[in-house]
Amino acid sequence: MTAKEVVLVHSVVRRLLVAGLGVLLLAGLAQAGEIHVGIATEPWDLDPATYTDTGSGYIIQNVYDPLIELGTDNEPTTEFAVCKSWEFSDDATSITLHLREGIKFHDGTDLTAEDVKYNFEWILDPENDSPMRKVVGPVTAIDIIDPYTLKVTFEKPFPEVLQYWARAFAGIVPEGGHGTRSAEKGIAGVVGTDLSRHPVGSGPFKFVEWVSGSHIVLEPFDEYWAEGVPAPGIDRVVFEFIGDDAAKMAALISGSIHIVDKVSFRDFDFISRMPGIVTKRIPGIQEQYVALDLGAHPFGITAEEVGDQQAIARALAARKFMMYAIDREEIRDEIFFGMATIMYGPWYPDSEWFSPKLRGRKLHDPELARQYLEEYYSLGGEKPLKFRIIATNAQWFVDVATLIQEQLRQYGVETEVIPVDKATFFDTLYETFDWEAGVEDWGYGNFSALYWMYAGYYRNHHNHNHWHHAAPDLPENYHPTVPGHAEFCALYDEAIVEPDIQRRKELTWRLEEMLVENVVRIDLMIADNLHAWRDTVVGYGDGLNSEGDINLRYIKEFHG
């Protein structure tokens, strides 16, 4: 190890000790046969039909088998999926699923079409309030053909269904497994099911215990259907909750942790040069963004201003100022150490599903920013422009918000950065108009651009920006905001049923252009996923994709 590396190690150790977690360095190696995985956040819900958080997803990935999965190329595949093949009808109004035979649940029962039908029906039942319900699509019938074949029929063509179902059915559960939802079944105020704290799936690992604030333990499922999975040498898997990045990296270096969920951008280069550690950098799915409240000043309109053209124009000028004033390249280089892809709109810039009109457009233009700021003032905007930026007080969000604050100061704009916890951040964005701007990230969940148009902006359910239009489904606590939303939703309805791929692509481009023209929010960049693991975990990196999952199926050997 060079002198510089020694200094860097000491730096990591110092950060660890300051955090009061030096005991991890003294723990030594884990017991033989135990893989220890360090994850940043404790899970909330281990039911695949109700979870929404990343930490839960790590456990679900290994306890359950998905109906359909996304491969390392981010396309639908069946390598470790319950479904082994499928066929669409000619008009894409139905799909026939052929299930893999010989799969057993951890309770010893066989997985059949009855179980898969139950998963569909439970998610689609409004009484269960599953966040996956709207992702499943316009299903009108689920017919069992034989014990391992079923046909799903849609109200209208649904050619994008496979990408949607890769998200909706992250895990198939046994018939009756969910039970009913209730507060006492969940944790920390989260309404849960029978599976939320005691998951039963068909995946390669069985649930053993959950010690809140500390860890979750899994053990190999000896009757798993895939040959060689789990890998020999694995007796237990312990997911440890380590919120402090320095502590997690020090544990990886010491060998007390074998796999970490992610590496900080600051530490990646250093960790990559550590002996005994393997790293991998993959384009991610987490979009970094600035949410803008379209239902309040200065970036939107109040309920009393609905239809007021001057107020609408003033709010648009403020949003366009933000679009051109923010320097994305500086954020990428200063906060993400260059390990992110700058966005020109609401989808991957190098994707064929991203609008050619938006690709490569000028993003940072101080002169244009000043013009729009003056327009905002001329239309009656408060001078100087003042607003709050709320940011989740974890990872890099406060740093991004603070850098944006510095960038806007040169225009005479005054901002206040307010760090909040993640739950408070999203409760504030979704449920109130008491905010102006917010910095966070949002995972795409799959690789359908149309899915993202739906998840982030469609209809009047939760979205990050309060972009709503007058309609019977608009909740009472919301109000119609800036124009364009009704037209956007109508165009989405046309695109999602379009069977011709090129035409569907062109409609998707137009949806993206509408979002940019209306500056519904500020798309910043997509951060890379930075992975690290000990070289004693052989093959782990083969299963990594842009979703950032921890998939232990790909481990070939473990020398722990």
Cα–Cα distance measured from residue 296 to residue 535, given in angstroms and rounded to the nearest whole number: 52
Q: What is the pLDDT of residue 215?
A: 98
Q: What is the pLDDT of residue 134?
A: 85
- From the list 336, 252, 332, the residue with the least C-alpha distance to 529 is 336
- Mind listing the pLDDT tens digit for each residue in 483-533? 999 999 999 999 999 989 999 999 999 999 999 999 999 999 999 999 999
pLDDT of 22 above 50: no
pTM of the model as a whole: 0.85
Contact call for residues 290 and 442 (beta carbons, < 8 A): no
Within its chain, how far is the Cα of 410 from the centroid?
33
**What average pLDDT score do residues 436-453 get?**
88
Cα–Cα distance measured from residue 100 to residue 228, given in angstroms and rounded to the nearest whole number: 17
Q: What is the pLDDT of residue 152?
A: 99
For tokens 């939802």, name the residue: 181
pLDDT of 456 above 70: yes
Amino acid at 203: G
pLDDT of 24 above 50: no
Cα–Cα distance measured from residue 186 to residue 193, given in angstroms and rounded to the nearest whole number: 7
Q: 115 falls in which pLDDT band (50, 70, 90)? A: very high
Share of the chain above pLDDT 70, in %: 93
- Mind listing the pLDDT tens digit for each residue in 283-292? 998 899 999 9
Cα–Cα distance measured from residue 249 to residue 272, given in angstroms and rounded to the nearest whole number: 11
- Domains belonging to the chain, first-starting first, are 3-62+182-282+548-558 (3.40.190.10), 69-168 (3.90.76.10), 285-527 (3.10.105.10)
CA angle (267 as vertex; 417, 289 as ends), nearest 5 = 35
Q: What is the pLDDT of residue 30?
A: 61
Q: Which residues contact 298 (CB under 8 A, 6 or more apart)?
A: 314, 315, 318, 376, 381, 382, 385, 387, 436
Q: 74 falls in which pLDDT band (50, 70, 90)? A: confident
Q: What is the pLDDT of residue 264?
A: 92
For the chain, the straight-line distance linking the first and the last C-alpha, in angstroms and rounded, comes to 23
